[in-house]
Chain A
Amino acid sequence: MEQILMRSNYSKKPHRMRKTPGEHAFGIITAIILIFCCVMVIYPIYYMFIVSISDGYAVTRGEVVLYPIGVNFKAYKIALGYSSVVRSFWNSVLYTVVGTLIAVVMTALCAYPLSRKKMFGRGMITFIVTFTMFFDSGLVANYMIVSSLHIKNTIWAMVVPGAISVWYMIIMRTFFQGIPEELYESAYLDGGNDWTIFIKIILPLSKAVIATIVLFYAVQIWNAFIPALLYLDDSNKYPMQLLLRNIVMGSNNAATGTATVAGDSAVLGKNIKYAVIFITTAPILVVYPFVQKYFVKGVMVGSIKG
């Protein structure tokens, strides 16, 4: 009892003695460093936003540093006026939705059996699966697989090769393992088989972990650019990330970019680039605050018990 009291006391008032000047200095230095870190993290994102909504000439003159000048949304209008930007955005949405769906179903179908200790051959299957985490066969071999399956230049090349992330599978499996064994036993007694137990009992109990994994996959697929770079030749199928890379990295891809904006190109160029960067990031920024706790929970499960 005394311990509990002491602890609760601790969490409110860390030090029962009066704060010495040293303690104060420590608190202030900690605060200053952390505020500095936060500013360093936020500033590039903030900068990208203020440049994208500022007047093009002010940007070129280097006046836009702390706040937007001559606020306007012309850059967004122009960026969204490119059919390639809009098309790529919807491509990304499509790949993300289809890819996440496939990935979550596949991951759950892998994680559930591996969480059942009674399954014969579980150790061997676990080994087969986890070994792939440590052996990276490299770009060439993966490219060969995709091209030999004749799925190059299709949506399947975007969503199938990365369908199961072993790491996320382990997170899910760890969660399933935490479900009390009695639940399974009573379900078996009621005549349920593993399919009905999985669908009717386990999945409804696992909403939190499934939400986590859905978000992990969705972010991963939305952000992926290597599969598109390797497997897509048709620019009509490019996702946002590859389009952005072509625009910003000054690739010679003439279908997009600044060259087509007559006259103003040099001036508008920077704004438009930043506008496209922001459009690419916006979905993440919108979703992030709401899902952050799930992300953290997920990584905790994976890192501690996994």
Chain B
Amino acid sequence: MKAGEMTGNTGRGGSAHGWKYVKKQLYKNRCLYAMIAFPILYFIIFKYGAIGWLGIAFKNFNAHAGFWKSKWVGLKYFKMFLKDPYFYSILKNTVLISLWCLVFYFPVPIILALLINEVKNYMAKKLVQTITYLPYFISTVVVCSLVVNIFATDGLINEAVVFFGGEAKTYMSDPSWFRPIYVITEIWQHAGWGSIIYLAALSGVDQQLYEAASIDGATRWQQVLHVSLPGIASIISIQFLLMVGRMLTVGYEKILLLYTGSTYSTADVISTYVYRRGLINANYSYGAAISIFQAMLSLILIFAANKAADKIGAASLW
């Protein structure tokens, strides 16, 4: 999808052609509108409706009074968030977890794709792909259940550590272990699936380039560095920017499953804070204010990332 498709087409038709034209068009496509009516209703109710509910951030929302009867309080909850003692810590944790993923997770699918691309045996290649894609389809709950059990005090990791003469540790309740564990599960679950997009790009690299390189005496390692890697450079930069754009939207699903009270200092991110303060403590207005803060910053980041992608000449993200 190109950027123009998203916004550019809106100008077509409309007032330039007059009301008669619009009416004729609407009648001509009535079947299409009938089809899309339900989906649009869905988006209006569940997506734009939710955006509307964010309005409670400016109100002192009271579940009994409902949306309209709750009192307006202006920016009270936004100010409260900026002064919140946890503000810096959850912002920092969110950014740091994203950075960890950027540094340790991001290169893995690329390397994996380059390696799989070097496998010339069709069956072996398919087998590796089948195996590495599998974790993507396993639920987060199952993945986290395995992690919690394997890293438990009587779990596999500690058994191995003790076997080799080390000392058993409580990984799951140690704040300094949270980020590594998070990134490890991220790699385990998503690296294989993430490699698909790079493999697709690699299959588009002209085979004659490899031929030419090998005639020139390039070793396979040099071919990887000088043919394969440049061939997928643009898709790498797109993926990189996409990930930067999503920096503030660290998913709460996995963190809710992995963190414990003792690891809040490194594990608590914006969205989990919204869950605890907003939903569990039923402080809906405050939760909504934090959500607005996060959504706005994310939107800015994503558009900046798209602009950057345009600048460096890579195709825009959508």
Let me know if A262 is at the binding interface, CB within 8 A: no
A120, closest chain B residue (CB)? B25
Which residues of B, 213-239, contact A by the 8 Å Cβ criterion?
A: 214, 219-221
Interface residue tally for chain A (C-beta within 8 Å)? 106
B35 touches which one: A144, A194, A270, A289 (CB < 8 A)? A194
Does B130 contact A106, Cβ atoms closer than 8 Å? no
B29 touches which one: A118, A129, A149, A222 (CB < 8 A)? A118
A141-B53, A141-B291 given; A130·B219 CB < 8 A: no
> Closest CB of chain A to B152's CB: distance in Å?
9
Let me know if A67 is at the binding interface, CB within 8 A: no
CA distance A99 to B127 in the complex (A): 32
CA distance A7 to B207 in the complex (A): 7
Does B302 contact A34, Cβ atoms closer than 8 Å? no
Let me know if B186 is at the binding interface, CB within 8 A: no
Does A195 contact B35, Cβ atoms closer than 8 Å? yes
Does A164 contact B35, Cβ atoms closer than 8 Å? no
A38-B132, A137-B295, A304-B200 given; A116·B288 CB < 8 A: no
Does B145 contact A248, Cβ atoms closer than 8 Å? yes
Complex contacts, B13 vs chain A, CB 8 Å: 120-121
Complex contacts, B318 vs chain A, CB 8 Å: 130
Let me know if B49 is at the binding interface, CB within 8 A: yes
Does A113 contact B1, Cβ atoms closer than 8 Å? no
B203, closest chain A residue (CB)? A300
A17 touches which one: B12, B28, B214, B257 (CB < 8 A)? B214
Which residues of B, 270-302, contact A by the 8 Å Cβ criterion?
A: 271, 274-275, 278-279, 284, 287-288, 290-292, 294-295, 298-299, 302
Which residues of A, 150-173, contact B by the 8 Å Cβ criterion?
A: 160-161, 163-164, 170
Stretch from B81-89, B94-102, B113-121, B173-181 that touches the partner: B113-121
> Closest CB of chain A to B242's CB: distance in Å?
11
Does A138 contact B208, Cβ atoms closer than 8 Å? no
Does B32 contact A113, Cβ atoms closer than 8 Å? yes
Let me know if A145 is at the binding interface, CB within 8 A: yes
CA distance A195 to B156 in the complex (A): 57
Let me know if A219 is at the binding interface, CB within 8 A: yes
Let me know if A204 is at the binding interface, CB within 8 A: no
A34-B115, A41-B134, A109-B38 given; A141·B302 CB < 8 A: no
B146 touches which one: A22, A48, A140, A224 (CB < 8 A)? A48
Map CB proximity to A onto B103-131 as digits: 1 under 8 Å, 0 otherwise: 00000000010011011100000011111
A120-B13, A245-B145, A299-B196 given; A164·B50 CB < 8 A: no
Closest CB pairs A-B (n = 8) = A123-B9, A138-B291, A223-B139, A110-B39, A120-B25, A194-B31, A140-B287, A141-B50
A residues with a Cβ closer than 8 A to B are: 3, 6-7, 10-11, 14-17, 20, 22-23, 26-27, 30-31, 33-34, 37-38, 40-42, 44-45, 47-48, 60, 62, 65, 106-107, 109-110, 112-114, 116, 118-130, 132, 134-145, 148-149, 160-161, 163-164, 170, 193-195, 198, 219, 222-226, 229-230, 241-242, 244-245, 248-249, 270, 273-274, 277, 280-281, 284, 288-289, 292, 295-296, 299-300, 303-304, 306
Known: A47-B156, A139-B279. 15 other contacts (CB 8 A): A10-B211, A14-B214, A20-B219, A26-B219, A41-B188, A120-B26, A120-B28, A123-B9, A136-B298, A137-B51, A140-B56, A161-B46, A163-B42, A226-B253, A244-B142
